[in-house]
């Protein structure tokens, strides 16, 4: 089983080979990266198949290496192969390989394609290192490296203003969450004395107070990475990056890392209790906000981005209800169908030369493969039988129902309805109606094959849902008819509304009266519920002003106080008024001036004439002798 170690190392090696090369030879080395991703996929499937028969609770393979020793504490990096990590392996490498192959077609004209592949490889390595981690520290480190890759890929086309800004925004927003994660590690280390899953999650008995602290801090970290309200603002902007990168990082894997973290740490959340409720609350809020915002976007990628936010919220809801299987299963299905949708969106954007859905239409006739695969993805997202999204969403609803979270259950249904609505809105705008672009044609084959693979996966994995639950060590059940019918009905209703508004031939719904009647609501949605504006105004700008003010403060006051040595004590009483630059400089130069003044007087003695020195000596001698005489007498 030692080949498991190689799984994260192979893409890392690909990065190490590609990164130091010069631009042109790096571009030529792209096949290395693609090959690495395919090999990793093979190894991952092998590892998954090895875990599949039976190995439920116990890890099948576990190894670790110490990288830091502090007294008796050893910090180690480890590889832990259990059902959860094995599943994640396949998800990450399958989507990763699909994206890498797809990018051969999508990015082939870009002059920095080599760098793109290098970063993709590093990302894959970090993500695999994260899912295989056997401790929270390694998880955190891989987590941050992924953040770097996300930053680099969002800002890939950095010559333009928007990607540059979006990349910084993404990095800083997720890092706000990371403060929580880092502090969670500190609390964990102080209370449990370790970062290892084996100790923290199994052996250590958590007191509710400490558990709540750690769980909420971890949740905060997860909210940053998984774009949960109110830290979701970076994800829609992150769409400025290349579309396949969005498919991998901002839809399937990295953003799901937060969910993965909470799923891993679920025993701590359960020990706390409160933290579970908070998780559910955050999740359902995000699911609704994301869904509503997705419904008013015109940019196809932004619709998908908000949809991702909303679906991640769904996963948090499931975890908050204690349904690790449901949440985790939705993570898996969502990874496949959402990356499929993003890859499809990439094809659509290439063909239509725009991201604005209002300028698209009629793609179905010219692009059959894309249409079919995209439709499969859409139906999965809407939650229609038999596609994967139906099964996982159903499990989440079941968990909520059995957990007697009825309010959340209803809200989740509302979110499902909204989801179906914006899916229909997207689909009809893009694929039906009159053609608005000339020269539409189907994409390259290396783009279509990965999409077809993902579509096939999306179509069939739903039927594995009860087996998957058993694989994770829980009781597997087929969906209960009542809940399945309810959710299908709600989804169908949403699709129907979407069709009524956007899909009817000749008659696209005129939304103007609606907008004018509910002006405030619409304005709020169009302004992304004011999150961005609030942050920009109250945090970003204020920080800039504060920094400027502090800089002035430093230049005048602090420098002044320090320079004016004695002034320190006085300063406490009247900072600002008394201590200005004049006083300070005076004090600084005071010492020098004093020395100089003394020197100016003393120098007069130094005439440079030998004889005046002699006279001085004589005089001194006489005085000395007089002294002796007087004293002697």
* 372 touching other proteins, by CB under 8 A: no
Q: How far apart, in Å, are the Cα atoms of 11 and each of 74, 90, 219, 391?
A: 27, 15, 29, 32
Query: Which residues within the stretch 581-600 sit at the binding site for other proteins (CB under 8 A)?
Result: 588, 591-592
Which residue lies nearer to other proteins by CB, 185 or 252? 185
Contacts of 597 (CB under 8 A, 6+ apart): none
Give me the least distance between CB of 480 and other proteins, in Å please: 45
| Binder among 179, 445, 514, 626 for other proteins (CB under 8 A) | 179
* 164 touching other proteins, by CB under 8 A: yes
On whether the CB atoms of residues 15 and 122 are closer than 8 A, the answer is yes
Which residue lies nearer to other proteins by CB, 92 or 187? 187
Which residue is listed with tokens 């007498």?
A: 633
Contacts of 139 (CB under 8 A, 6+ apart): 130, 133, 261, 264
Which residue is listed with tokens 């499969």?
A: 376
| Element (DSSP H or E) covering residue 69 | strand 61-70
Give me the least distance between CB of 602 and other proteins, in Å please: 8
* 70 touching other proteins, by CB under 8 A: yes
Give the span between the Cα atoms of 220 and 82, in whole angstroms.
26
Which residue lies nearer to other proteins by CB, 146 or 268? 146
* 34 touching other proteins, by CB under 8 A: no
Give me the least distance between CB of 41 and other proteins, in Å please: 24
**Pair of tokens at residue 572:** 């406490």
* 629 touching other proteins, by CB under 8 A: no
- The span of 273-281, 335-343, 399-407, 601-609 binding other proteins (CB under 8 A) equals 601-609
* 578 touching other proteins, by CB under 8 A: no
* 542 touching other proteins, by CB under 8 A: no
Q: Using CB atoms within 10 A of its CB, is residue 146 exposed (0-12), middle (13-18) or buried (19+)?
A: buried
- Stated length of the chain: 633
- The span of 53-61, 232-240, 465-473, 552-560 binding other proteins (CB under 8 A) equals 552-560
- The span of 234-242, 345-353, 507-515, 610-618 binding other proteins (CB under 8 A) equals 610-618
DSSP conformation class of 510: -
* 563 touching other proteins, by CB under 8 A: yes
| Binder among 514, 614, 623, 628 for other proteins (CB under 8 A) | 614
Contacts of 234 (CB under 8 A, 6+ apart): 166, 169, 170, 173, 174, 227
* 477 touching other proteins, by CB under 8 A: no
* 546 touching other proteins, by CB under 8 A: yes
Contacts of 499 (CB under 8 A, 6+ apart): 424, 428
**Pair of tokens at residue 484:** 């399945």
| Binder among 86, 187, 304, 411 for other proteins (CB under 8 A) | 187
Q: Is the CA virtual torsion 433, 437, 440, 444 positive or negative?
A: negative
- The span of 85-93, 302-310, 406-414, 548-556 binding other proteins (CB under 8 A) equals 548-556
DSSP conformation class of 306: H
**Angle at CA of residue 443, ends 11 and 310, nearest 5°:** 65
Give me the least distance between CB of 485 and other proteins, in Å please: 48
End-to-end Cα separation, the chain, in angstroms: 107
CB atoms within 10 A of CB 301: 25
Which residue lies nearer to other proteins by CB, 485 or 618? 618
* 550 touching other proteins, by CB under 8 A: yes
* 76 touching other proteins, by CB under 8 A: no
Number of residues that bind other proteins (CB under 8 A): 66
Peptide bond into 386 cis (omega under 30): yes
On whether the CB atoms of residues 362 and 474 are closer than 8 A, the answer is no
Give the span between the Cα atoms of 185 and 200, in whole angstroms.
11
**Pair of tokens at residue 457:** 């996966």
**Pair of tokens at residue 237:** 């902007």
| Binder among 201, 449, 562, 583 for other proteins (CB under 8 A) | 562
Give me the least distance between CB of 525 and other proteins, in Å please: 30
* 603 touching other proteins, by CB under 8 A: yes
**Pair of tokens at residue 485:** 């019918």
| Binder among 543, 576, 596, 622 for other proteins (CB under 8 A) | 543
Give the span between the Cα atoms of 20 and 26, in whole angstroms.
8
Which residue lies nearer to other proteins by CB, 167 or 310? 167
* 298 touching other proteins, by CB under 8 A: no
* 507 touching other proteins, by CB under 8 A: no
* 344 touching other proteins, by CB under 8 A: no
Cα atoms in the 13 Å half-sphere on the side-chain side of 108: 11
Which residue lies nearer to other proteins by CB, 141 or 480? 141
DSSP codes, 402-446: HTT-HHHHHHHHHHHHHHHHHHHHHHHHHHSS---SSS-----HH
* 315 touching other proteins, by CB under 8 A: no
Give me the least distance between CB of 96 and other proteins, in Å please: 19
| Binder among 551, 623, 624, 625 for other proteins (CB under 8 A) | 551
* 144 touching other proteins, by CB under 8 A: yes
On whether the CB atoms of residues 142 and 161 are closer than 8 A, the answer is no
Which residue lies nearer to other proteins by CB, 62 or 175? 175
Give me the least distance between CB of 168 and other proteins, in Å please: 5
> Where does this chain bind other proteins (CB under 8 A)?
22-23, 66-71, 73, 75, 140-142, 144-145, 148, 151, 155, 158-159, 164, 167-168, 171-172, 175-176, 178-179, 182-183, 185-187, 189-190, 543-544, 546-548, 550-551, 554, 558-559, 561-563, 565, 588, 591-592, 602-611, 614-615, 618
């Amino acid at each position: 089983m030692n080949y498991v170690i190689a799984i994260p190392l192979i893409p890392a090696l690909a990065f190490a080979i590609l990164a130091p090369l010069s631009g042109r030879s790096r571009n030529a080395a792209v096949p290395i990266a693609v090959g690495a991703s395919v090999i990793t996929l093979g190894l991952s499937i092998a590892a998954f198949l090895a875990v599949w028969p039976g190995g439920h609770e116990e890890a099948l393979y576990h190894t670790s290496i110490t990288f830091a020793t502090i007294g008796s504490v050893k910090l180690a990096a480890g590889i832990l192969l259990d059902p959860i990590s094995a599943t994640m392996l396949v998800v990450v490498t399958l989507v990763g390989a699909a994206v890498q192959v797809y990018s051969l077609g999508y990015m082939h004209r870009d002059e920095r394609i080599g760098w793109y592949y290098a970063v993709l490889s590093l990302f894959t390595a970090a993500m695999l290192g994260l899912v295989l981690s056997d401790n929270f520290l390694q998880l955190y480190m891989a987590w941050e490296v992924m953040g770097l890759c996300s930053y680099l890929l969002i800002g890939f086309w950095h010559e333009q203003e928007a990607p540059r800004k979006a990349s910084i925004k993404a990095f800083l927003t997720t890092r706000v969450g990371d403060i929580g994660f880092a502090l969670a590690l500190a609390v964990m280390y102080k209370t449990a004395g370790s970062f290892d899953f084996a100790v923290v999650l199994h052996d250590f008995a958590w007191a509710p107070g400490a558990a709540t602290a750690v769980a909420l801090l971890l949740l905060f970290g997860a909210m940053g990475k998984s774009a949960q309200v109110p830290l979701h603002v970076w994800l829609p902007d992150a769409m400025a990056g290349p579309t396949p990168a969005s498919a991998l990082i901002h839809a399937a894997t990295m953003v799901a890392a937060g969910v993965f973290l909470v799923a891993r740490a679920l025993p701590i959340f359960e020990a706390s209790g409160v933290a579970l409720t908070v998780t559910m609350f955050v999740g359902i809020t995000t699911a609704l906000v994301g869904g509503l915002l997705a419904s008013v976007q015109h940019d196809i990628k932004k619709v998908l981005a908000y949809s991702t936010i909303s679906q991640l919220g769904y996963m948090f809801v499931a975890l908050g209800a204690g349904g690790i299987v449901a949440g985790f299963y939705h993570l898996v299905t969502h990874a496949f169908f959402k990356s499929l949708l993003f890859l499809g969106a990439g094809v659509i954007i290439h063909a239509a030369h725009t991201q604005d859905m209002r300028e698209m239409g009629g793609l179905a006739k010219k692009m059959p493969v894309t249409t079919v695969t995209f439709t499969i993805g859409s139906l999965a997202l809407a939650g229609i039988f038999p596609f994967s999204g139906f099964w996982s969403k159903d499990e989440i609803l079941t968990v909520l129902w059995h957990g007697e979270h009825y309010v959340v259950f209803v809200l989740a249904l509302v979110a499902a309805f909204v989801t179906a609505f914006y899916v229909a809105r997207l689909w009809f705008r893009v694929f039906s109606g009159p053609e608005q672009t000339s020269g539409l044609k189907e994409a390259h084959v290396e783009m279509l094959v990965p999409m077809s693979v993902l579509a096939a996966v999306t179509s069939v994995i739903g039927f594995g849902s009860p087996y998957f639950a058993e694989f994770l060590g829980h009781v597997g059940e087929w969906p209960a008819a009542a809940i399945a019918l309810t959710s299908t009905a709600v989804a169908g209703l949403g699709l129907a509304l979407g069709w009524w508004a956007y899909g009817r031939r000749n008659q696209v719904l005129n939304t103007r009266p609606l907008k004018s009647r509910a002006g405030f609501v619409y304005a709020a949605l169009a302004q992304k519920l004011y999150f961005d504006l609030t942050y920009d105004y109250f945090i970003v700008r204020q920080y800039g002003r504060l920094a400027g003010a502090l800089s002035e403060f430093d230049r005048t006051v602090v420098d002044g106080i320090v320079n004016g040595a004695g002034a320190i004590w006085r300063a406490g009483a009247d900072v600002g008024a008394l201590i200005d630059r004049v006083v300070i400089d005076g004090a600084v130069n005071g010492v020098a001036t004093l020395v100089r003044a003394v020197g100016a007087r003393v120098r007069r003695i130094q005439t440079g004439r030998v004889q005046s020195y002699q006279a001085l000596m004589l005089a001194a001698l006489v005085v000395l002798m007089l002294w002796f005489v007087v004293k002697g007498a």
